[in-house]
Amino acid sequence: MSAEGKDTATDLRVSIAGKYMTFKLADEEYGLEILKVREIIGLMEITRVPRTKDFIRGVINLRGRVIPVVDLRLKFSMARTESTDQTVIIVVQYSMAGQDYTMGILVDEVLEVLSIGPDQIEPPPDFGSGGIDTNFILGIGKADKRVIFLLDIGKVLNAQESKHLVRLGET
């Protein structure tokens, strides 16, 4: 790695260091930038919206405001989230291409708020041309012996897809 490359990597670590809210999907641990988390609400009845993508579970009433809820497991091609006592909806707020988005993310369990320093961060894994897109991962955080995927939530619900949560092919 060239000196310059090292600097870039350091810059990256410094820039993504900070507080993360960690949560679980199946056995995996993920982190969301705390500044993008608006609140955590218990699971409530989700109204299915016809003719939308599978990972859109539907819409909920957030104190009078209607927001979409995304099943992150489905989004990551895991099995559909089943509701348990621990299942919650994390309400995130982010902007992408000048649009503000407020969405709910359905996760299995919320763990904690973790401060992750630059020295605890590894750059996103490179799967080479294996076809796995890691674009939406900011980096990998290490705390104790755990590995936490730090998500760029805007990219997870990726700009293009956020815009087209509606399945266009179906119209």
Partner 1 sequence: MALNLFLDELGTALASIDPAHPEAVCPLVDRLRTFAEAHPEVSFEAVLRRLATLAAGQSADAASDLKQALASLSEVGRALDTDSASTGPAEEQFSIPPWIDEPTYQEFLHTAKNSLDELESDALALEAGAPTAIDRVKRRIHTLKGEAGVVGVEDLAAVLHAVEDLLVDRHPLPLPELVDRLLLTRDWAEIAIEAYRALRKPEPRAAEIIRSLGKAAGQTAPSRRPDRRGGTTGRSLPPIPEEPANKIARDEETLALLGEFLGESDEGLANADQTLIDIERDGVDAEKVNSLFRIFHTLKGVAAALDLRQITSLAHTSETMLNLVRQGEIELRGPVLDLVFDATQMMGRMLAELHRAVDFAVDVSPVGGLQTLLDSINSVVAGKAPTASPIAVHPPETRLGEILSLNYQIPAEAVQAALESQKTSHRKLGEELIAQGLVQPKQVAQAIRSQSAGSDAASTGGKLRDTIKVDLGRVDALVEIIGELVIVETMVSNAPDIVALSSPKVRTYLSQLGKITRDLQDVGMRMRMVPVRAVFQKMVRMVRDLSRKSDKQIQLLMSGEGTEMDRSMVEQVADPLVHMIRNSVDHGVEGPAERIAAGKKALGTIRLSAYHMGGSVIIEVGDDGRGLHREAILRKAVAQKLVEEDSKLSDAEVYNLIFVPGFSTAAQVTEISGRGVGMDVVKRNIDQMRGRVAISTVPGQGTTFKIMLPLTLAIIDGMLVACGEERYIIPTLSIIESIQPDASMLVKFAGRGELVNVRGEVLPLMRLDRLLSVRGAKTDPTTGLVVIVETLGRKVGLLVDEVVTQQQVVIKNLGTGMQNIRFVAGAAILADGHVGLILNMEEIGNLTPDGRTIEAKAGLVGTG
Residue 99: CB minimum distance to partner 1, A: 6
Which x/- pattern over 26-45 shows residues binding partner 1 (rule: CB under 8 A)?
Answer: -------------------x
Of the pair 77, 171, the CB lying nearest partner 1 is at 171
Please give the single-letter amino acid code of residue 82. E
**Bridging pattern class, strands 88-96 and 99-107:** antiparallel
CB closer to partner 1, 12 vs 62: 62
User: What is the Cα–Cα distance from 41 to 104, expressed in whole angstroms?
Assistant: 9
As given in the structure block, the two tokens for residue 136 are 């939406």
Q: Which of 2, 51, 79, 85 binds partner 1 (CB under 8 A)?
A: 51
Is 10 or 99 the residue whose CB approaches partner 1 more closely?
Answer: 99
- For partner 1, which is the closer residue by CB, 8 or 47? 47
Strand order in the sheet with 121-122: 109-116, 18-25, 28-33, 146-151, 137-143, 121-122
- From the CB of 45, what's the least distance to partner 1, in Å? 5
- DSSP E strands: which ranges in 14-124? 18-25, 28-33, 37-42, 56-62, 65-71, 88-96, 99-107, 109-116, 121-122
Minimal distance in Å, beta carbon 151 to partner 1?
A: 18
**Residue 160, Cα to own-chain centre: how many angstroms?**
15
Q: Residue 135 — φ and ψ, nearest 5°?
A: -55, -35
Which parts of 54-83 interact with partner 1 (CB under 8 A)? 56, 58-61, 63-68
Which of the ranges 53-61, 107-115, 130-138, 144-152 carries the binding residues for partner 1, by CB under 8 A?
A: 53-61
Binding residues for partner 1, rule: CB under 8 A, are 45, 47-52, 56, 58-61, 63-68, 99-103, 157, 162-166, 170-171
